[in-house]
Structures are given as C-alpha cells and as structure tokens.
Amino acid sequence: MLFYKRHAKPGVKGWELRKTLGSDYPKVLKILDDYLKALDLQVKTVFEEGKEVEKPSLEQLDRARFLITLRGDLTPKEAKMVGWRIDDLAGLAITIAYIISKKGQSPRKDVEELLREKLPGWKVGINIDRYVRYGYLAQDESGQLYLDWRTRAEVDQKALIDLLLRTEASPASA
Amino acid sequence: MQSKSEREKLGREKLQRIIDTCTSVQERSLDPFLIDINENIGTIKELFPEWNIPEDLCLDAETIHSLASVIKLQSEWVKHRSTTLYTDPFLLEEKLTRLPKEDITRAFIQSWRPAVELEQISLHSLEEATRYWDSLIPLDERWKEIPPEQVGAGLATREELVQQRILRDKAFSEELESFWDELKSTVTEKGKDGKIHYWDFVGAETYEQTVDRAFMTSFLITYGYATLEIHPLEEETFIKPYEKPIVKTGKAQLVSIPIAITTDDWTKWKKGELE
C-alpha cells in the first residue's frame, strides 16, 4: 500500500491503513520501518498540519500521509539514475533553500529572478511549474510559493541549510 | 488652546495613521518591530476619553486590533528565529548566488531522501480494464450527432390554446362575475353574518386550485366585489361579498394586504388544523 500511487501521490493516508490493518497500524508501521532498515529505506510520515508533530494524536495520524523514502544519502552517481538533470536538481535546491530563508514563502518572481542568474531563462518557468506539479512547491493565487508535501517528506531542511552554509565554492568551479 | 472638535479630529487622524502603518507592515511583510507598540498604546489611551460617538469607539477598537495583529507578527518572528531552521536570509542568499550549481546539488543530494514509488500493472487491473473495454460503446455511437427534430408547422385550435392555458375559455370579466356569484352562494350556505372564513372559500382539493382561487379572490376584493375583514388579535380573516360592486378608486387610499398561500398552510387547512 505504501509503495503505490493514489491520485498521483505516493503513499497512503492513515485512515486507509486503519481500515486495512486496524487501529494498531502505527505499531505495524514501526515494525515495517525496522524491517526496511536493511534495505536503506524508511517509513516517512507527512502531517497535514505541515510541521512535524512530536506526539501526534490518532486523528492527526489518520489525516497524515505515510510513504517510503530512502533512509541514507544518494551518491552523485545514484542521483543521476533518479532521472533528474543536475540543472533541475540545483534549481530545486536553490528554490527550497531560498523559500526556507524567507520564512516559508516567497513571491514566485523573486525565485525566478534568483534562478535566472544560473539557469537559462526559458527553463526557469518550466522548472518551477514542474516543482509545483511534483508536489515540492505550492503556489497560491497571489503568486506566492510555499514548500509543499513532497519537500516535507523528502528533504531534511535543516541539513540542507547547514550544508549550504558550510560549503565553500570548489576551486575548480570557482 | 484647541477646541474639542479640533482635538477629536486630530485624534482620529492619529489613530488612522497607526492603523495604516500596521496594515502596511502586515501587507508588505515589513519588520514588525518597526512599530513601537508601547508608544502607540499610550497614544490610544490618551485619546480614549475624547470619544463619545460609536464611530470613534469603533475606530479605537480597530486601532487596538491592528496593533494586536502586529504583536502576533512579532511573536511569529521571534518563534521563527528561535527554531533550528533560522538562518540569516542575506547570508544564505549570498551563498546561493556564489556557489556553483554542482556544489549546491551535492549539498542537496546529501539532504534528499526521495520517495519510493512503484507503478505496475497487475492481472486484476488488466481484467478490469478488459471488462470496461467490452462494455464501452464505440465512439461513433457515443458521439453521434443527433439531427434536430423536424416539426411540421401547423395551426393551433382555440381548444388547444385553452388547454395549454394560453387563452382563457371565458373573458376575464365573465369569469370574475361567476366567481363572485359562487362567493355569494357559498356565504349564504356556509357563511355566518354575511361573511365566510378566507381559507374556507379559497381552499380547494389541490394546492394549484387553491392558488387559482386566491388569485381570483384578490381581484374580487380589488375591483370592489367583496371586502376583507381582518381580526388581527384572533388572527382570523373573513371575506364579505358586496351585493353590488363598489367603485373604490378616488374615495380613499387603497391598502395592500398580502396573504401567503403556502403549501404548509394549505396542508394544515386540509387536515382542519388551520384556524
């Protein structure tokens, strides 16, 4: 259930798990999470509220989405096999980092201006639309971009910011 | 020395300025700490004794509400700064512009745990799809253009027009007179003191007939064939026919009396529950 897509989103809602597995499904997920360690996978919970909830109630769990993600890092070689071009990944990384630095929201035109410094102009709009379609970003009617469910599920935001701040430009590419 | 009205006018302007400043902080996401809350609250407190009319008190309340919104923004700012995700936005932006995309991508990959998804067709879904295909009607039949129905032009008879209620069988005045005769005979048979209860006359077997009778009764009253007698305390309405139609125009101001003919009332009358 956790592997398959429903309505273009991977994973399954808590209430669906409760229907199939019973109300003890959190325990079942914990056992599954331990089992998946050997395969370098993990069970990830994405709460509807958007933030991590320390002690979630049953109702919050029912509304949350559960999916499987990688547990460890990807190597650059493995990242190529995921199917993303380096330009597109870099664009996504910059966009997510920039929105985090702007307290979780930013006007789309500011993000486009930032991306245009390093990516071809014609690609910028297409890429942002792609990030929105995949669920990494959300856009409201007033053109504000926010981080969406897939970013919360897949990206360790704190680790990303720390790594970016620690990284110095490599001599070969500087 | 300023007069009271001048002081009030200045006070209103001060409050409006505070509201405008608070609104621009909220709308343009400016630093909420630009606003000195203590000073503004002092101003509001100082001006409060001047207010007497409700509009000024509302303005005072709106000012406090705007300041409360700014305090909320300040609290969110502090919360954000104290979380582990806070970092100086200028520093981060400067890093993002300086770093080459390879380094940014390398940092991203180390913090990225992509979701594992599986897309696979199964025997069961193939079976369901085949069943659906078998039951699906071909496109030529589904998207067939239906030619417009050809209707032959002809003449309608008077009876057909009366049947479709486009024409009345009798002239309206004739119908009104016969309805008036019916009212007079009903009052003689079932009425008391030359009048009858409104619903006892207007009520019929079906709701549609009741509405029709109410419609005709309204003309009887308007054209002076009958009158209404209303007892508001007892909530009773009677119709009293005149022996001869009375011309009312020009004598006194006519008054409109709306009487609702709802399905609920008709149902109650049918059950005998309507008094």
List pLDDT tens digits, range A65-83. Answer: 898 988 887 777 777 777 7
Task: Please provide the CATH number assigned to the domain covering B172-271.
Answer: 1.10.10.580
Share of chain B above pLDDT 90, in %: 21
What pLDDT shows up at residue A174?
Answer: 39
Cβ-Cβ contacts under 8 Å for B156 (sequence gap 6 or more) = none
What pLDDT shows up at residue B29?
Answer: 67
Alpha-carbon gap, residue B127 to B40, rounded angstroms: 72
The strand pair at A5-6 and A41-46 is best described as unpaired
Which residue among A75, A153, A174 sits closest to B115, beta carbon to beta carbon? Answer: A153
CB contact under 8 A, B109 and A160: no
List pLDDT tens digits, range B146-162. Answer: 777 777 778 888 888 88
What pLDDT shows up at residue B252?
Answer: 63
pLDDT beyond 90 at A4: no
pTM of the model: 0.51
Closest CA in chain A for residue B98: A169
Q: Which of A76, A70, A66, A86 is nearest to A26 (CA)?
A: A66
CA–CA distances in Å: residue B89 to residues A17, A161, A165, B95: 40, 11, 11, 10
Establish how many alpha carbons lie within 13 A of residue B13's alpha carbon, considering only the half-sphere containing its beta carbon. Answer: 6
Token couple for A37: 């360690």
Least confident span in A106-115, A154-163, B39-48, B140-149: B140-149
pLDDT tens, N- to C-terminus, chain B (275 residues): 678 888 888 899 999 999 999 988 887 667 788 888 999 999 999 999 888 889 999 999 999 999 999 999 888 877 766 665 666 777 777 888 888 888 888 888 888 888 887 766 677 777 778 888 888 888 877 777 777 777 777 888 888 888 887 877 677 888 888 899 999 999 998 888 888 999 989 989 999 999 999 999 999 998 889 988 888 888 888 999 988 888 765 566 677 888 888 888 888 888 887 75
Query: Does this complex have an ipTM over 0.95?
Result: no
Side chain identity at residue A96, one-letter code: I
Which A residues in the span 16-55 are in contact with B, Cβ-Cβ below 8 Å? 41-42, 44
Alpha-carbon gap, residue B37 to B52, rounded angstroms: 25
pLDDT tier at A145 (50, 70, 90 boundaries)? very high
Sequence ranges of the domains in chain B: 4-82, 172-271
CB contact under 8 A, B116 and A167: no
What pLDDT shows up at residue B250?
Answer: 58
Q: Would an 8 Å CB–CB cutoff place A152 in contact with chain B?
A: no
Share of chain A above pLDDT 70, in %: 94
Which residue among A42, A44, A100 sits closest to B85, beta carbon to beta carbon? Answer: A100
pLDDT beyond 60 at A173: no
Token couple for A32: 């599954």
pLDDT beyond 90 at A108: yes
CB contact under 8 A, A79 and B87: no
Closest CA in chain A for residue B83: A158
Q: Which of A92, A85, A156 is nearest to A129 (CA)?
A: A92
Alpha-carbon gap, residue B101 to A84, rounded angstroms: 14
Q: Would an 8 Å CB–CB cutoff place A111 in contact with chain B?
A: no
Delineate the domains of chain A, giving CATH numbers in brackets.
5-72 (no CATH), 77-166 (1.10.10.10)
- Size of the A and B interface in Cβ pairs below 8 Å: 137
Mutate: best of A164, A165, A166, A170, partner B, most B CBs <10 A: A164
CA–CA distances in Å: residue A87 to residues A79, A115, B174: 12, 10, 89
What pLDDT shows up at residue B64?
Answer: 93
Element (H, E) at B184: helix B172-190
Residues from B in contact with A at Cβ < 8 Å: 80, 84-85, 87, 89, 91-93, 95-119
pLDDT beyond 90 at A131: yes
